[in-house]
Structure 1
Amino acid sequence: MPQNYNFVIDGRSVEAGRHFDVINPADGTAFARCPAATTGDLDAAVAAARRAFPAWAATPDAERKAAVNAMADIIEANAAELAELVTLEQGKPLGGMGSQWEVGGAAAWTRYTASLDLPVETIQDDSAGKVTLHRKPIGVVGSITPWNFPVMIAIWHIMPAIRAGNTVVLKPSPYTPIATLRLAELLQAALPPGVLNAVAGEDEIGQAMSVHSGIDKIVFTGSTRTGKRVMASAADTLKRLTLELGGNDAAIVLPDTDLDAATEKLFWGAFINNGQTCAAIKRLYVHDSIYDEVCKRLVAYAANVKVGDGRNADSVLGTVQNRMQFDRVRMLVDAAVADGAQALCGGAPMEGEGLFYPVTILAEAKDGMAIVDEEQFGPALPVIRYSDVEDALVRANDNPSGLGGSVWSGDMETAAALASRLECGSAWINSHSMVRPDAPFGGVKQSGIGVEFGALGLAEFTTVQVIHQ
């Protein structure tokens, strides 16, 4: 019988009146049961966070920093358990760039966040007077996390919120709630009751958080469509928002690119986490003079990437996480092939149990195909020809998304100039999708509002007060 998991409210494990199955996408079986929150459970979590806020906001900065470092210790001490839960519910492998890498990154990100400071800024200090800018915590932060990196993105949300003096109500995706609930339970050892609360449930609980008058800020990572609904729901209470939304990242490969150095990086820029990454390469624009060679090299590299159950030591990539996303990837690939694209590898679901879809390289893809114009969020990469780089830039920018982009070239000066003209929040040169805790990350256009990471990301969890003396 799968284990029932609980909420975490006011420092305690709280049982739910109802649970639902959490499915292992590798075999379709229920491996755990998630508590299904009611609006009453959410109200209790928000009330606990509001009670805890005044004392936590007033806690000396050094003590808050120490608490965040202590949470990093807890994550490291429980990394094996958390990684196994992530693999069971998300489908990614334990090794490589899978669950162990995610949990290790979460611990490192937590420790870096502990090191950040928000010093008082002096605007004026002279005989005429003194003016200083202070950053103060907002209050209760509602965190709504997605299913692709359940532990890592939870850390991206909650650690800067807590470091800045806020309290948190966390809601994970109903597809991947278990590792996050367990994480919240473990972290209670480093925090006063009520500072970090975790509920879970279907999508209506996220909606209830967006309209809840007791929540002062929402931080949400997910699709642009859902982000728009969060924004609309939050309007009535004028909540602060940080929204990291969908991306349809374009990479432009120039004819002077060193393909020996670039092939592996291009592959993983697209297929990290099985393509289920907001800032992965989703559209690959390749100059006509090297187009066939790039396709050939990507297919050859893909041939050595084993797709299988994440619990198997030889699996390099795992499953698509859920049936809805699996069906979307299949639909987009089928439509592209019907419209003239060529599946050089993959192109159809794998046989057997589980949501396994092979690495798929689509040659002769064109702008106007849904798999090019829309975010596929899965293991299928359209490769688009171009002959004029200015035309490629226009096509790359002709999209409502603007999360990331990259330029690939042997000429760093030319690449940097072109990258600066990409309409995206993060641009890489000769790499893609690697984010850092000290570099702000966020989208432009319909890829989000606000930034995460670094001092600017920490500041998103504060309000400004200017004191005139």
Structure 2
Amino acid sequence: METYDALLAAITPTSGATRTILDPATGTAVGEAPVHTVQDLERAVAAAEAAQPAWAALGHDARSAALLRAADAVERSAEELARLLSREQGKPLNGPNARFEVGACAAWLRVAATTVLEPETVVDDGETRAELHYRPIGVVGAIGPWNWPMMITVWQIAPALRMGNAVVVKPSEYTPLSVLALAKVLNEELPEGLLTVVSGGRDVGARLAEHPAVGKVMFTGSTATGKAIIRSSADTVKRLTLELGGNDAGIVLPDADPKAIAEGLFWGAFINTGQTCAALKRLYVHSDIYEAVCEELTTVAAAMPMGNGLDENNVLGPLQNRQQFDIVARLVEAARDSGAKILLGGNPATDQPGHFYPATLVADIDNANPLVAEEQFGPALPIIRYSTVDEAVAMANALDVGLGASVWSSDPVAAREVAARIQSGTVWINKHGAVDPRVPFGGAKQSGYGLEFGVEGLKALGVPQVING
């Protein structure tokens, strides 16, 4: 374990171009990030190619042991990593935020290391014996987002490494320090050249997506960027796992208990101050309990403190960047102008530093309103009234995305029946966004394709090979 200052110093460039990273809560400097180039990427890919065969040759057991040691290293530096994450991304230390994210990194490493993936005997009838194995891909490119920079990076690299691949990571330009620091800690337990972070701009990401030596790209981010990666990867027929934009719907059935579900609804929508791909972003509530749900949800939201993430009392923080702040503000104002009712929030302070937008609940809003139809990716939740379950399901399925969804009910059987009708990769019941490293996760429609986590996630980082004979 090292101090926060030592960790930051270890990732601070001593030469080359740099960019100052600002704290979204205060506007003050967090540190200097390297501005890597395409040439730096080429060197990283070459190093990965050189390191990968020996890593693959170690076998699953030795690679798993290294990942478990890497998880131990994350835990030794957990507080320092969480503090850096809070300062760079903005999320508070407490609640389901910075400390939670660093803990999740260790948890995902451990599950990736210990999940069993045995060869599968497909046919064995006395005449034919066919076995399905999974071999390393080679070099994997990992392109991550700014909202959960450490955790999603681990989602990408842990199964890739476990399956015998080398990884080159391209972090978001908004949150490179967190990923650089995480990789520094992980590399204490990994061979040199196996895991490299290239902190560059869009040109670096574009080259990674098209690089002939990269056999697979894992990407979490917008649907538009995902489509660009698909195009860039076509000439080399890369394997892809894409976790793209979502606009998750939640349906509250008329038998739900408004008070009992209010806190779950709140965190489903406002985890990481709403900056989560699989957060609850549009809530459909039956007219019989609409007013009660609005009242209970407002009570919970009003009690949640927002402020600087390093303050131990806060559980909501700023939006990570001004661009996202402006998107949320525009959508809320459009809702206000349309006649929707602002139950809470909608009035960001203009006399303080930081990108703070208050937790905002919007009722009596039309389903076609931009706040509902567009992914706001921030702390603003539209609450839409419905009359029949068929109507709610139709509205939930109307968009071209389908990452996650949820159904809220006192009747598990009824909830499952509705869940089966929703077009999304995951449907939660009486919770939202609760990902688990053992449970496959992926999107439907334009929310992407490919599965992460668990056995299916490991398979996605290997090349299937059938041995027949």
Secondary structure at 1:318 match in 2 = coil
8 Å contact 2:254–2:286 — kept in the other structure?
A: yes
Is 1:213 aligned with 2:218? no
Secondary structure at 1:189 match in 2 = coil
How far is 1:6 from its partner? 9.1
8 Å contact 2:425–2:444 — kept in the other structure?
A: yes
Distance 2:323 2:147 in 1: 14
Q: Superposition pairs for residues 247-266 of structure 1, below 5 Å?
A: 247-266=246-265
- Kindly provide the CA deviation profile for residues 65-87 of structure 1, in whole angstroms up to 9, marking residues without a partner as x: 10110110000000011000100
How far is 1:4 from its partner? 11
| Change beyond 3 A, Cα 1:195–1:14 | farther
- 2:318 aligned residue: 319
Distance 2:10 2:306 in 1: 34
| Change beyond 3 A, Cα 1:215–1:380 | same
Distance 1:247 1:121 in 2: 34
Distance 1:16 1:442 in 2: 40
- 1:88 aligned residue: 87
Distance 2:151 2:122 in 1: 37
Distance 1:382 1:376 in 2: 10
Is 1:139 aligned with 2:138? yes
> Which structure 1 segments of 5+ residues have no match?
none
| Change beyond 3 A, Cα 1:18–1:6 | farther
- 1:281 aligned residue: 280
How far is 1:185 from its partner? 1.2
Is 1:453 aligned with 2:453? yes
Distance 2:128 2:256 in 1: 57
- 2:186 aligned residue: 187
Q: Which amino acid aligns with 1:425?
A: G
8 Å contact 1:7–1:16 — kept in the other structure?
A: no
How far is 1:283 from its partner? 0.5
How far is 1:135 from its partner? 0.5
Distance 1:173 1:109 in 2: 21
Q: Superposition pairs for residues 27-426 of structure 1, below 5 Å?
A: 27-351=26-350, 352-426=352-426
- 2:444 aligned residue: 444
- Kindly provide the CA deviation profile for residues 335-380 of structure 1, in whole angstroms up to 9, marking residues without a partner as x: 1111111111111212411000000000111111111011100000
8 Å contact 2:259–2:296 — kept in the other structure?
A: no
Secondary structure at 2:418 match in 1 = helix
Distance 1:129 1:288 in 2: 61
How far is 1:203 from its partner? 2.3
| Change beyond 3 A, Cα 1:263–1:164 | same
8 Å contact 2:38–2:203 — kept in the other structure?
A: no
Distance 1:202 1:3 in 2: 26
- Kindly provide the CA deviation profile for residues 246-285 of structure 1, in whole angstroms up to 9, marking residues without a partner as x: 1100001111101221011011111011010111110000
- 2:466 aligned residue: 466
Runs of 4+ aligned structure 1 residues displaced above 3 Å come to: 2-8, 13-16
8 Å contact 2:13–2:32 — kept in the other structure?
A: no
Distance 1:5 1:36 in 2: 16
Secondary structure at 2:401 match in 1 = coil
The share of aligned pairs that are identical, in percent, is: 51
Q: TM-score, normalization: structure 2? A: 0.96
How far is 1:383 from its partner? 0.4
Q: Which amino acid aligns with 1:38?
A: T
Secondary structure at 2:307 match in 1 = coil
How far is 1:228 from its partner? 0.8
Distance 2:126 2:283 in 1: 59
Q: Superposition pairs for residues 13-24 of structure 1, below 5 Å?
A: 17-24=16-23
Secondary structure at 1:365 match in 2 = coil
Secondary structure at 1:128 match in 2 = coil
- Kindly provide the CA deviation profile for residues 170-193 of structure 1, in whole angstroms up to 9, marking residues without a partner as x: 111110110110111121121111
Distance 1:7 1:223 in 2: 31
Distance 1:240 1:310 in 2: 38
Query: How big is the alpha-carbon RMSD for the aligned residues of Structure 1 and Structure 2?
Result: 1.6
